[in-house]
């Protein structure tokens, strides 16, 4: 479980490689519900896709075909392969101003052509993950994660009185963080034992009739 800030192809791949299942809220999850987002014709999510020919169809009915691939490297050294698409012809499009974004480009809008750069691997991971997080299990896990994860910071800072690290250096700070987490988890376990809540979620999703 993780919030939208942790969504990346690298993280999805790491989770899959370790035999785990991702329940990560996509970075565009909240904004994708808005009408403005759904009506934005420049976004690849709002274009039709033909799997057989690997092409996207824009609002004007033009085809965006593959022109090549490019490798992108993250700050951690992860290699991401992105597929590049370009529209066959944008000259007479009535939607050009809405479809092609970016006002700082030196090339006049009339001379520009719609281009896309997409990681197919990332899109596959995101599509699979979205199905999971909107399921009953995903909703329940997300509700409990927000309570458990965010509440831990408050408990460590307020209840345990932690205000600053007493050591220096990455390894020392990591060791101190682990001790804090262990202490907080033991407090949680003790409270659950006392209240008879072992093996139970904090909150369960109530299904409507």
How far, in whole angstroms, is CA 113 from its chain's centroid?
28
CA distance 22 to 35: 27
26 within 8 A of 129, measured Cβ to Cβ = yes
Q: Which residues contact 37 (CB under 8 A, 6 or more apart)?
A: 28, 31, 43
Residue 172 pLDDT > 90:
yes
- Structural tokens at position 114: 């719609």
Top pLDDT among 184 and 206 is at 184
32 within 8 A of 145, measured Cβ to Cβ = no
User: What's the pTM value of the predicted model, to 2 decimals?
Assistant: 0.74
Top pLDDT among 167 and 208 is at 167
154 within 8 A of 184, measured Cβ to Cβ = no
Q: Mean pLDDT over residues 110-131, rounded?
A: 92
CA distance 131 to 25: 11
Q: What is the pLDDT of residues 16-25, one digit of tens each?
A: 999 999 999 9
Which pLDDT does position 93 carry in this prediction?
81
Which pLDDT does position 208 carry in this prediction?
47
* pLDDT bracket for residue 92 (50, 70, 90): confident
Q: What is the pLDDT of residues 185-201, one digit of tens each?
A: 898 889 888 888 777 66
* pLDDT bracket for residue 203 (50, 70, 90): low
Domain boundaries, the chain: 4-132, 136-195
Please give the helix or strand (H or E) that residue 117 lies within, else none: strand 115-118
Residue 121 pLDDT > 80:
yes
DSSP 3-state of 55:
strand
* pLDDT bracket for residue 209 (50, 70, 90): very low
- Sheet arrangement for strand 63-73: 48-50, 55-57, 63-73, 79-87, 115-118
Residue 160 pLDDT > 90:
no
Q: Mean pLDDT over residues 69-90, rounded?
A: 91
**Sign of the torsion angle spanned by Cα atoms 95, 99, 103, 108:** negative
Residue 171 pLDDT > 80:
yes
Q: Which of 15-24, 36-45, 108-117, 122-131 has the lowest mean pLDDT?
A: 108-117
CA distance 170 to 178: 12
Q: Which residues contact 33 (CB under 8 A, 6 or more apart)?
A: none
């Amino acid at each position: 479980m993780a919030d939208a800030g942790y969504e990346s192809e690298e993280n999805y791949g790491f989770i899959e490689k370790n035999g785990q299942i991702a329940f990560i809220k996509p970075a565009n999850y909240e904004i994708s519900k808005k009408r403005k987002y759904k009506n934005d014709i420049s976004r690849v999510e709002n274009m039709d896709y033909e799997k057989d020919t690997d092409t996207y169809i824009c609002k004007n009915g033009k085809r965006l075909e593959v022109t090549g691939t490019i490798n992108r490297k993250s700050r951690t050294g992860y290699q991401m392969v992105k597929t590049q698409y370009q529209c066959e012809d944008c000259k007479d499009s009535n939607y050009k101003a809405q479809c092609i974004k970016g006002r700082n480009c030196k090339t006049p809008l009339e001379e520009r052509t719609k281009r896309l750069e997409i990681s197919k691997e990332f899109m596959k991971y995101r599509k699979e993950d979205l199905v999971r997080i909107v399921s009953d299990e995903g909703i329940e896990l997300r509700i409990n994660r927000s309570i458990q994860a965010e509440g831990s910071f408050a408990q460590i800072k307020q209840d345990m009185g932690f205000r600053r690290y007493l050591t220096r250096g990455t390894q020392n700070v990591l060791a101190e963080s682990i001790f804090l987490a262990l202490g907080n988890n033991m407090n949680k376990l003790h409270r659950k034992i006392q209240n008879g809540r072992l093996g139970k979620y904090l909150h369960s999703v109530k299904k409507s009739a």
